[in-house]
């Protein structure tokens, strides 16, 4: 949301964490799953997103290889975050002529969108690796309830911003 600092600051000032609503001059406004579905085009599914978050180097390397069939170099990650430039290099170097390469291309793009739009944070050059295990099985990706996790991420981010 580069360039929208004043708007975001105004929204954060009006956020009420105890009830997860914005208090605006026109009344209270709440962001719902239906809103997330309409804005991001995500569908409501039954498979909830669960699991442990691991910030180890081994976790990052193993999951990058499982998703993209490549190992990130030492300059391609910091702690549990993957360099955005490395992700684009993974996407752009493989010809999309076989099902496996097409799936890797799509997973790379999904990971990019997750890190920059759906589950964005303050980092503009790195993407959090915590979603990589959920992208490994290509056919299960649409089964997860991404919109519920996005809404939880939004609420958590707004509460932390106060």
pLDDT recorded at residue 7: 87
DSSP helix/strand/coil, 24: strand
3-state secondary structure of 34: helix
- Give residue 104's domain range: 57-142
Distance between CA atoms of residues 117 and 115, nearest Å: 6
What is the model's pLDDT at position 37? 86
**76 and 129 within one domain:** yes
- Closest residue by Cα to residue 151 from 112, 118, 110: 118
Note the pLDDT tens digit of each residue in 134-144. Answer: 999 999 998 88
Residue at 49 is within a domain: no
Q: Is the pLDDT of residue 3 over 70?
A: no
Element housing 148 (H / E)? helix 146-161
Tens digit of each residue's pLDDT (9 = 90 or more) over 16-37: 999 999 999 999 999 998 898 8
How much of the chain exceeds pLDDT 90, in percent?
A: 36
Contact 42, 149 (CB under 8 A): no
pLDDT tens across 79-92, in order?
A: 889 998 999 888 77
Q: Is residue 105 domain-shared with residue 153, that is, in the same domain?
A: no
| Count of domains forming the chain | 2
Domain identity same for 108 and 98: yes
Whether 109 and 153 share a structural domain: no
Both 99 and 136 in one domain: the answer is yes
């Amino acid at each position: 949301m580069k360039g929208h600092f004043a708007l975001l600051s105004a929204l954060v000032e009006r956020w009420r964490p105890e009830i997860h609503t914005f208090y605006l001059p026109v009344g209270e406004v709440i962001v719902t799953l239906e809103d997330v579905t309409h804005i991001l085009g995500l569908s409501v599914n039954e498979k909830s997103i669960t699991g442990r978050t691991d910030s180890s180097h081994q976790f990052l390397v193993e999951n990058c290889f499982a998703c993209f069939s490549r190992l990130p170099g030492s300059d391609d990650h910091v702690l549990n975050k993957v360099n955005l430039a490395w992700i684009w290099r993974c996407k752009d170097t493989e010809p999309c002529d076989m099902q496996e390469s097409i799936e890797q291309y799509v997973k790379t793009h999904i990971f990019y969108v997750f890190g920059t739009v759906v589950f964005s944070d303050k980092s503009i050059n790195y993407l959090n690796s915590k979603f990589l295990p959920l992208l490994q099985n290509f056919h299960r990706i649409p089964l997860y309830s991404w919109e519920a996790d996005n809404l939880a991420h939004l609420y958590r981010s707004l509460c932390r911003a106060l």
